[in-house]
Structure formats: structure tokens, C-alpha cells
Amino acid sequence: MNFKYVRHGALLCLMSVLAACVAHAPRPSGLPLWVKNPPASNEAFYAIGQGISLYEAEHQARLSMAAQMQVKVSDYMQTRTIVDGRFHRDYFDQTTSVTVSAVSLSQARAVEQSQSGLDWYVLLKLDRAGFVEQQRLLLDEDLRVLQAAMNLRDAPSFRRWWRLRQQMPAARRAWDNVLLVNSLTPGESIEVGAGQKQILDRYFSALQASEQVVNFVLSDQSQVKGLAAVLDQQLADAGLARNSQTGRNTAQIALATDLEVTPLGREFHVVRVLYLRLLAQGQVMAQTQIKAKGVGLGSRQQGIQVADRKLLEQAQQQNLVTQLFQPLEAEHK
């Protein structure tokens, strides 16, 4: 017997057994204390994120921090009463659920990071005073925009309503920041004051007053049955009046369509495009479009019907009134 090979074989077996034991032995977690016991402070916000990569762990930490702030805003709305009319309260109900979703957490920084096994952990810190000051500066900027829109002392009219309506994104951000800052600084000197809230009250009151005199008429040249009814309902849902009478404060929503038919063998490929334009006193205030496609087998008319049905479904699923105003809103973001 060759004892040299026996010794080598026994050594290999022993190494295999040891390796198997190591592989199946429970690994210590190796988690740092800050993972098990996150720091707490009145001067800063902390959040922990976990992920399979350092990037994902930090991303999860930011989501966690935003969720914490959302809870604070919800608590604030439950414990404080905003004194205003039904119009404002309805608006609050529509916006508070997304208060924190668009808030920038750019000042938050990772102060600790650790890897345990395949997972990464990140501790994120956000200085409270710096964050509140950032949001107050953004609030002041939006309030200046709203004040500039209200400085013209013209009477309620379509032009005034349209000018104020364009500033709706700034008003949304301002309301969000009022709620956020006050929920993070209850009773403190840096809480948003009554004067700033009054600007928002004046803005919504002016918008509502102008809205009462605005009237819309539909000019339907679309050749798609049912589109005018969809626009009618969406105008009603937005609280905007629509009738056939015209006047100085009347705006027209014009619907028109374009049709493109391409024969391919026995198939007819159809593209129907809907154009919407908002006109006031002969001027185009805004415009947008949607389109749908259809295919007819051996029949041009069948392809048109399919495209028109899809276009109508798309118009019902989307808010065409909001979409018509959206291009102007986007310019002020």
C-alpha cells in the first residue's frame, strides 16, 4: 500500500468536511449597533435602508425618510384645523396624500454604511434646521410668483382666471410646503405665519371668483361620435361651466381630427389623431393631441371604426381638460 496517497486522500477528506462545516455554520450577523438601534435626535432625521447594493440601500433609506415625514404631515392634519372655506378644504383633501412625494431630500447624506453577508445597510441623516430652511425658501419663491399673478387689479374674467390657473403648480407646492414645514416645527418661531397663508387664501379666492364668470363652448369637428360628451363630463368634473352662449369671458375648446389610411395587402392601417385647442378672443391659449391606431381586414371602414373606438377609450381614460392645460403648467415647474 502506498501510504503517501493514503495520507493525501485523508487530508483531502478532512478539508472537505471542514469546508462543509464552515459553509453550513451560522454566520454572525455582523450588524453595527446603528442598524439595531438607530439614532434619534430633535435636530436631525435618520433613516436606515437595506439593499443588495449600496445604491439600493441608500435609495431605500430615502424612501423610508420620506415615509416618516408623510406620517408627520398626516398627524399634523389630524391635530390642526385649517380655517378656510370648503373650496380650500377640498383642495387639501386632494393634495395631502402626496405631500412628501415631490420633496427634495438632496441635503440628506449617508453618514454610515456597512455590509453584512450579501446585504448593504446605509444610515441617512438630514439636518432638520437646514431642511426646513430649504423648504421655506422654496415656499417664499412660490408665494412671490402667486403675488405677481395677483398684482394686476383686473376684474374677474377669463384672462384673469387663465393667468391664475397657470400658477396652479406653484400653489400646489406652496400648500405642500406650508403643511410640511408646520408639521415639522409645531409652535416654533420658524413655523409658517398667517401672512404667508393669507397669500394662498387670496390666490384661491381670486381663482374661484374668476372661475365663476368663465364659460366654455365646444366646437366639435372631430367626426368621432361621443368625444364631445366626454369633454362635457370632464369640464363638469373640473367645475367649469359649459353652454352654447358666447360672451367676453367665453373660451372655445375646438376638437378636430386627422385621418391617415395606409393599405397593406388586404389590411388597412388607420391612424386617427385628435387635436384639441383652447381659444379665447381669437388667440390660441393651449393645445394638445392624442392618437389611436386601428387595422381593418379587407375593409377601410372597419379600420376607421377600430381607430375611432380606441381614440374614444383613450379620451375617456385621460383627463383631456387637464391635459389641455398641462403644457402651460409644465413651463412653471
SS (H, E, C) 93-108: HHHHHHCCCCCCCCCC
Quote the pLDDT of residue 187. Answer: 65
Quote the pLDDT of residue 114. Answer: 92
Among 42-51, 87-96, 218-227, 320-329, the range scoring the smallest mean pLDDT is 87-96
Strand order of the β-sheet with 119-127 is 44-51, 119-127, 109-116
Quote the pLDDT of residue 161. Answer: 86
Q: Environment class of residue 292 by beta-carbon count within 10 Å: exposed (0-12), middle (13-18) or buried (19+)?
A: buried
Q: Is the pLDDT of residue 23 over 60?
A: no
Q: pLDDT, tens digit, for every residue of 62-92?
A: 988 888 887 777 676 666 544 444 444 444 4
CA distance 314 to 290: 8
Quote the pLDDT of residue 185. Answer: 76
Quote the pLDDT of residue 91. Answer: 45
Among 5-14, 29-38, 102-111, 229-238, the range scoring the smallest mean pLDDT is 5-14
CA distance 166 to 330: 9
Residue 135 amino acid letter: Q
Polymer length in residues for the chain: 333
Greater confidence, 11 or 322? Answer: 322
47 band by pLDDT with thresholds 50, 70 and 90: very high
Report the percentage of the chain scoring pLDDT > 90. Answer: 27
3-state secondary structure of 42: coil
Q: Environment class of residue 245 by beta-carbon count within 10 Å: exposed (0-12), middle (13-18) or buried (19+)?
A: exposed
CA distance 274 to 290: 5
Q: pLDDT, tens digit, for every residue of 178-209?
A: 878 877 776 665 556 677 888 888 888 888 88
**Phi, psi torsion values for 224, nearest 5 degrees:** -120, 110
Q: pLDDT, tens digit, for every residue of 295-318?
A: 999 899 999 999 999 999 999 888
Report the percentage of the chain scoring pLDDT > 70. Answer: 76
CA distance 323 to 328: 10
**173: left (phi > 0), else alpha (psi -120 to 50), else beta?**
alpha
94 band by pLDDT with thresholds 50, 70 and 90: very low
User: For the chain, how big is the Rg over CA atoms in Å?
Assistant: 30
Quote the pLDDT of residue 46. Answer: 93
CA distance 225 to 32: 66
Q: Is the pLDDT of residue 164 over 60?
A: yes
Q: For the chain, how long is the longest CA-to-CA vector?
A: 114
Q: Is the pLDDT of residue 277 over 90?
A: yes
Q: pLDDT, tens digit, for every residue of 106-138?
A: 788 999 999 988 999 999 999 988 888 888 888
Quote the pLDDT of residue 329. Answer: 44
Q: Is the pLDDT of residue 43 over 80?
A: yes
**117: left (phi > 0), else alpha (psi -120 to 50), else beta?**
left
pLDDT average, residue stretch 284-298? 91
CA distance 252 to 279: 5
Cβ contact 242:230 at 8 Å: no
pLDDT average, residue stretch 248-258? 88
Q: Which domains does the chain have, with CATH numbers?
A: 33-127 (3.10.28.20), 130-211 (no CATH), 215-330 (3.30.160.150)
CA distance 250 to 281: 8
Cβ contact 200:236 at 8 Å: no
Quote the pLDDT of residue 32. Answer: 87
Q: What share of the chain is helix, strand, coil (3-state, %, to 5)?
A: 50, 25, 25
Unique residue bearing C-alpha cell 388597412: 268
Cβ contact 130:107 at 8 Å: yes
Quote the pLDDT of residue 79. Answer: 60
Task: Return the closest-CA partner of residue 238 out of 311, 310, 165.
Answer: 165
Quote the pLDDT of residue 242. Answer: 73
Q: What is the pTM of this model?
A: 0.65
**Phi, psi torsion values for 328, nearest 5 degrees:** -75, -35
Unique residue bearing C-alpha cell 390660441: 284
